[in-house]
Each structure stands twice: as structure tokens, then as C-alpha cells.
Structure 1
Amino acid sequence: MTDASLEILPPTRLAIAYVPAYFRPALTLLLQIDMRFGDIVRTAREPMIAQIKMAWWRDAFAEAVDLRPKGEPLLQALTAVGGAIPLSALETLVSAWEELLGSDEWNQAVTDMHAQLRAEAIFQTYANWVGSAQDVRPIGRLWAIETLRTAFPQRVANSISAPLTALPKGRALRPLSILNMSVRTASGSRLVWHALTGL
């Protein structure tokens, strides 16, 4: 990808490094699609423009592979990973960002719904890939709210939060615990130690 807005930041790259090789391209792509949607919300001058763009993505995902619009690198990458990312996850991710377009003020209820949907689309999808029965949406919700706060500091009040929950044990879910830890103001060295040990 050459789009600077889709550049994966170091904490997220660390998380991706712990993803089994087979699923690494799919999780990377899912996170990049999430970033693209955030960029749509951030740069749209009018909510209606953002809604039109999000509807375009929803339609593009639902199209048969050979009928998807050409020239969009993320759609090309989606074709390349085959059916690894379920349509339901993509549609849920669209819904997560659409949730923010219906309100001028992102209160606790709006951000909670956004975070719940993003956690379902990204964290729970990954847990399903690695065969985990653990519900990882609680740690995904915190990650979603804090990354939203970082991207939109003027629109997410400090009072809006998600509860801290225990991180999952075991290496299979380590990428998700790294993502969660990365928004808990953990230092770089602390994050690396967690990645190495799970502690």
C-alpha cells in the first residue's frame, strides 16, 4: 500500500508480527480497511458525503469478486486473501463507522456502539480464525474507544471510557492483547515485554 493514511504504526506492527503467518495478511488488511473508514469520517466535510462513501464500500464488499470495482488497492488485497475475511465482518466494520455519522456529538452510547461493532469485526473475527472460544470483544471495545480518541481528540470526551478487563492468556490471542496494551499508555519497553512473555 502506498497510501500514507494506511501506514501501520509500530505498536500495531508488533501485534501483527505475532499473528500466525497464514492469517497475517488478512488481519493487516482488516486493520487497513478500518483505518480507511476512519479517514473517510475524518475528511468528509458533510456527514452525507461520508455516508455515500460508506455505502459504496458496503456494496463493493457484497459484490461477487469479479464484479468488484477495479483500481481500489484494498479491494484487490481483499481478493488476494480469498475468503479469509467473512463478509459479515466487513459489513459490521462499515456499520461501526456509520454509527458515528448520525450524531454531531459522540456521547457514551454512540461510542459504545461503535466500539462494540469494531471489536466484533476485528477482535472477534481474529479469535475465530485461531479457533479460540474466548469472548475478546471486551478488550476490543477498549482498544476501539482509545484509538478513536487518538484519531478524534476533539470529539471523544475524556469521560468516555470502556472498563479494563483481563487480557487473554496464551500466544494465540497475543496479537489482540498487544493491541489492547498499546492503548493502555504502556511504554514501548513494557509493550515489548508483554509481547515476549504475555505478562
Structure 2
Amino acid sequence: MNDIASELPPPANLAVAYTPVAFRPAFALLLQLDVRFADIVRKAREPMIAQIKLAWWRDAFAAEPTVRPKGEPLLQALGACGDGISPSALEDLVSAWELLLGDDEWAAENVEKHAALRGPAIFGSYAAWIGEGCDVSALSQQWALDALRLEFPSKLVALRNQPLPVLPKGRKLRPLSILAMSVRNVSGPRLIGHAFTGW
């Protein structure tokens, strides 16, 4: 799992480093799957080819672990996580990225649907693992929207501005606040300072 985590962008790696050890492999894997699906969408010259690739992932997730395709490190990591990541989170993550295929400029409706699936698949999974019982849905969706603005600046239509959700407090939720801050044009030193102190 260390090799998988090392392929993540630095802010995501920082978030993984602050994740409790028991959940670190599953959280790193979810973030890496998100990066992989974003890359499929980014490189999609033919939307149908990208659709086939995402459908392959959906089928692989739905298959029994013993019959999943061999040779894909992220699927092997999923098998090692056992029941750590829910099937619904995996399905939502694939569906979120499928919504963005096929258009030169993304419709606001599809972007918002994407955020409503992508954010909770990652943030909601983490919150469920640590059992904090807090509602991170608004934070997760804002993170997904802000991340898209950074990842695909030429694709987004203007979205209505929303008040930024308050960052969660507490050490256990620090990975989520790190991710949320990382897409808010925060400097590297400021992000590292937040990771250390929570402020």
C-alpha cells in the first residue's frame, strides 16, 4: 500500500499520513482510485473508450474477489482491504466520473451530481470508518467541486458560490480538513501547519 500512496499528490499523501493506521490502506486506495478515474476522464479523446474503461472498473468491483482481473495493483489492494470499502462507495465513485464524459464543457447539473457522489464516497467512507457520527456531506461536496476547479479549469461552467463549510475539528478528522484545505488555494506551509496544529 505504500507504493500506492506514494503515487498520490502531496496533499493527499499528507492526508493519508494523518489517517489512523487501521484505515490508512483503504483511504489511500479510495484516493488513488479517484486519481485513476480522473485520469481516464482527462485523457478521454473518445468518450466511448473512457466509458468502456470505467465500465470495466465497475464490473471488477462487482465481481467476487477471487474472479477479479489479475495484474491490476489497485484491484489487488482492494482485495487486501477486505470489506474496508463499501461496494456503494466504489459504485458512486465510478458513477461520479461517468457523469463528466462526453461534453467539451460540463453542465452545472452534471458537475453538482458528480460532487454529490464523489465527495461522500470518499469523505463519507472515512467518517464511517472512524465512527465520529458527524455530517461531512456539505464539506465533501464542496471539496469535490473545488477539486474539479483545480483539476479541470477549462471544463467548468460558472457555479454558484456557496459559503465554505467549516472545517471539522479534532485529530481524527484531520485528513478530511487537509483535503478540504488543499483545494482552497492554501499555500504548502499553511497546509502543513494545519496538519500539525489543526488551525
Which aligned segments of 4 or more residues in structure 1 are displaced greater than 4 angstroms?
Answer: 158-162
User: Could you give the per-residue CA deviations for residues 147-191 of structure 1, whole angstroms, max 9, x where no partner exists?
Assistant: 222221210245465541111111111100010011111112211
* Distance in 2, Cα, partners of 1:160 & 1:45: 29
How many matched pairs? 198
Contact 1:27 1:126 in 2 (8 A): yes
Gaps of 5+ in 2: none
Aligned to 1:141: 141
Instruction: State how far apart, in whole Å, the 1-side matches of 2:117 and 2:135 are.
Output: 14
Q: Secondary structure at the match of 1:23?
A: helix
Q: Following TM superposition, by how much is the alpha carbon of 1:198 offset from its aligned partner in structure 2, in angstroms? A: 1.4
CA contact (8 A) 2:127 2:133 kept: yes
Does the 8 A contact of 2:105 with 2:155 survive in 1?
yes
Shift of 1:45: 1.4
Give the match for residue 16 of structure 1. 16
Counterpart in the other structure of 2:99: 99
Deviation readout 1:103-143 (Å, 9 max, x if unpaired) = 44212211111111011110001000000211112111122
Give the structure 1 partner of residue 65 of structure 2: 65
Matched letter for residue 95 of structure 2: S
**Map of 1:48 onto structure 2:** 48
Q: Are the equivalent residues in 1 in contact too, given 2:108–2:158 (CA < 8 A)?
A: no
Give, as a single letter, the amino acid of the residue that structure 2 aligns with 1:148: L
- CA change 1:112–1:159 in 2 (3 A) is closer
SS of the residue corresponding to residue 54 of structure 2 reads helix
**CA distance in 1: counterparts of 2:146 and 2:75, whole angstroms:** 27
Q: State the shift of 1:28 in Å.
A: 0.5
Is 1:33 paired with 2:33? yes
- Contact 1:142–1:163 (Cα < 8 Å) also in 2: no
8 Å CA contact 2:12–2:31 kept in 1: the answer is: no
Aligned to 2:126: 126
Q: Quote the RMSD (CA, aligned, Å).
A: 2.1
Query: Match for 2:80: what amino acid?
Result: A
TM-score by length of 1: 0.92
Q: Which residue of 2 aligns with 1:79?
A: 79
> More displaced, 184-193 or 89-98?
184-193
TM-score, length of structure 2 as denominator length: 0.92
Question: Structure 2 vs 1, CA of residues 113 and 16 (structure 1 numbering), >3 Å: closer, same or farther?
Answer: same
